């Protein structure tokens, strides 16, 4: 049974960047997190309706950052080299940043956000504008057969009925096929106190321990685990039907590491909750003292993660003047819940900015490199993980 360990308060739809004219029409819910001691799964206590989050105005575009473009390019080269897949399925194809590296003839995709499924359909990749479940799996199987490679990035953790989603994968995975998926890692979140990984879309934050249980129930087996630096620390999980591939040492290593960390016991999560509370106090104190000294703070990257932070810590235009973000769909809008205006970096990241809170701290290397002029003139980045970054 799932038991609550953390309450992040009243929160809006994390990616629901909205026009100012809709400011009084937002949906809010209680963001609480629990741990299931039977299968070790960490999940939201209450799931938000999928249609509220993943619809035709979904704003997150994976191809907006060069880090993610090269990440998916490398991933596809790696999979082609190691598994030579003939038929490929991507679940949650976003704007096509991964599938663009595969042939149009043998690749299909599933993407519930209409704006994105349109983009990849127009590019020539058959894209089903549906949520991933057994119906989708059966339909695709009957139209184009089983798949040798099923890939999914930052999507499986979005699916409330995760047991059903893995069952639907097993249903369409060819006998020797591989199911590879990547999602933020629970151990990284616990270690860094990056509680901003928790928001409506992340129905679950996976440990390898929990995935081993859940995939096992679907008749699948993890044969390899890679650690990735993207999205603030992720795991790439390689799974197949049982006993198809030799199980790599990385699987036992990950399971042992997570047990040593205590990811299988409630006490670890209670400690995490106390660390989250301290993190909030520290961040608000830093921002308040900068603001009190008359300096200007903006936020860099209008992320879902920063929605959690701003709403949990009650950070609004009282502390952050505005947010800069390169995504055209977010510019001119306001942030969910706290209603901080969003502008393009060209417009807002100018000489008047003294401090920049890294809403997109997971891209700090890329951003700091790009904004070298800001650093050279004494500008400073701040993150809720590290405080002021030198
Ligand atoms: P991401 O951290 O992937 O978001 P989420 O928490 O929603 O999963 O999103 C990064 C955001 O930051 C995205 O809106 C694009 C923006 N961004 C910039 O504005 N400039 C940059 O240089 C980079 C790397 C990202």
Each residue of 361-385: pLDDT tens digit? 999 999 999 999 999 999 999 999 9
Measured from the CA of 59, which atom of ligand 1 is nearest? 14
Mean predicted confidence (pLDDT) in 232-236 = 96
387 — pLDDT class (breaks 50, 70, 90): confident
Q: What does pTM read for this prediction?
A: 0.94
Q: Find the 198 Cα to ligand 1 centroid distance in Å.
A: 16
Ligand 1: residue whose CA is nearest its atom 10: 360
Indicate if the pLDDT at residue 390 is higher than 80.
no
Could you tell me if the CB of 97 is within 6 A of ligand 1? no
pLDDT at 346: 96
386 — pLDDT class (breaks 50, 70, 90): confident
List beta partners, residue 37.
none
Indicate if the pLDDT at residue 57 is higher than 90.
no
The rounded distance, in Å, linking the Cα atoms of 150 and 185 is 20
User: Among residues 122, 80, 126, which one has the least CA distance to residue 101?
Assistant: 80
Calculate the CA 284 to chain-centre distance: 24
Could you tell me if the CB of 336 is within 6 A of ligand 1? no
Mean predicted confidence (pLDDT) in 101-108 = 97
Indicate if the pLDDT at residue 302 is higher than 90.
yes
Return the biggest CA–CA distance within the chain.
65
Each residue of 335-350: pLDDT tens digit? 999 999 999 999 999 9
pLDDT at 159: 98
Q: How far apart are the first and last CA of the chain?
A: 44
Indicate the angle between helix axes 162-172 and 208-217, nearest 10 degrees. 60
Indicate if the pLDDT at residue 263 is higher than 90.
yes
pLDDT at 82: 97
pLDDT at 307: 98
Task: Yes or no: say if 229 and 60 are a contact pair by the CB < 8 Å rule.
Answer: no
Indicate if the pLDDT at residue 58 is higher than 90.
no
Q: What's the sign of the alpha-carbon dihedral 186, 47, 303, 55? A: positive
User: Among residues 86, 73, 219, 239, which one has the least CA distance to residue 156?
Assistant: 239
Percent of the chain clearing pLDDT 70 (strictly above):
100
Task: Yes or no: say if 40 and 210 are a contact pair by the CB < 8 Å rule.
Answer: yes
Q: What's the sign of the alpha-carbon dihedral 222, 182, 253, 238? A: positive
User: Ligand 1 pocket: which of 65, 67, 373 to mutate (most atoms <8 Å of CB)?
Assistant: 65
Q: Find the 275 Cα to ligand 1 centroid distance in Å.
A: 25
List beta partners, residue 127.
109
User: Ligand 1 pocket: which of 303, 310, 357 to mutate (most atoms <8 Å of CB)?
Assistant: 303
Could you tell me if the CB of 367 is within 6 A of ligand 1? yes
59 — pLDDT class (breaks 50, 70, 90): confident
Instruction: Give exposure, 117-144, as e/b (b: 16+ Cβ within 10 Å).
Output: bebbbeeebebbbebbeeebbeebbeee
The rounded distance, in Å, linking the Cα atoms of 328 and 386 is 29
Q: Find the 146 Cα to ligand 1 centroid distance in Å.
A: 34
Indicate if the pLDDT at residue 78 is higher than 80.
yes
């Amino acid at each position: 049974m799932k038991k609550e360990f953390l309450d992040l308060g009243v929160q809006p739809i994390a990616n629901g960047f909205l026009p100012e004219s809709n400011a009084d029409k937002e949906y809010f819910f209680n963001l609480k997190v629990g741990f299931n001691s039977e299968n070790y799964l960490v999940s939201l206590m209450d799931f938000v309706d999928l249609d509220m989050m993943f619809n035709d105005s979904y704003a997150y575009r994976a191809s907006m950052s060069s880090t993610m473009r090269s990440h998916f390019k490398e991933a596809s080269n790696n999979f082609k080299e190691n598994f030579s897949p003939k038929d490929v399925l991507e679940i949650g194809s976003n704007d096509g940043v991964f599938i663009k590296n595969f042939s149009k003839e043998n690749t299909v995709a599933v993407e519930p956000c209409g704006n994105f499924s349109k983009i990849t359909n127009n590019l020539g990749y058959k894209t089903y504008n549906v949520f991933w479940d057994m119906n989708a799996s059966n339909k695709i199987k009957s139209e184009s057969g089983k798949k040798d490679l099923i890939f999914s990035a930052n999507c499986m953790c979005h699916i409330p009925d995760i047991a059903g989603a893995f069952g639907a994968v097993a249903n369409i995975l060819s006998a020797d096929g591989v199911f590879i998926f990547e999602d933020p890692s629970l151990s990284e979140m616990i270690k860094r106190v990056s509680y901003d990984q928790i928001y409506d879309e992340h129905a679950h934050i996976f440990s390898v321990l929990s995935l081993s249980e859940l995939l096992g129930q679907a008749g699948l087996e993890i044969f390899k685990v890679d650690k990735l630096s993207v999205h603030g620390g992720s795991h790439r999980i390689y799974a197949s039907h049982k006993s198809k591939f030799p199980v790599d040492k990385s699987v036992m290593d990950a399971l042992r590491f997570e047990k040593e960390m205590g990811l299988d016991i409630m006490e670890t999560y209670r400690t995490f909750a106390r660390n989250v509370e301290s993190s909030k106090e520290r961040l608000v104190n830093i921002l308040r003292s900068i603001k009190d000294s008359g300096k200007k703070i903006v936020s860099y990257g209008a992320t879902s993660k920063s929605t959690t932070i701003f709403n949990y810590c009650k950070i609004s235009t009282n502390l952050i003047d505005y947010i800069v973000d390169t995504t055209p769909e977010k510019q001119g809008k306001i942030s969910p819940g706290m209603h901080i205006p969003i502008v393009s970096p060209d417009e807002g990241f100018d000489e008047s900015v003294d401090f920049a809170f890294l809403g997109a701290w997971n891209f700090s290397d890329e951003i700091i490199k790009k904004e070298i002029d800001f650093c050279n003139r004494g500008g400073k980045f701040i993150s809720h993980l590290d405080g002021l970054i030198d």
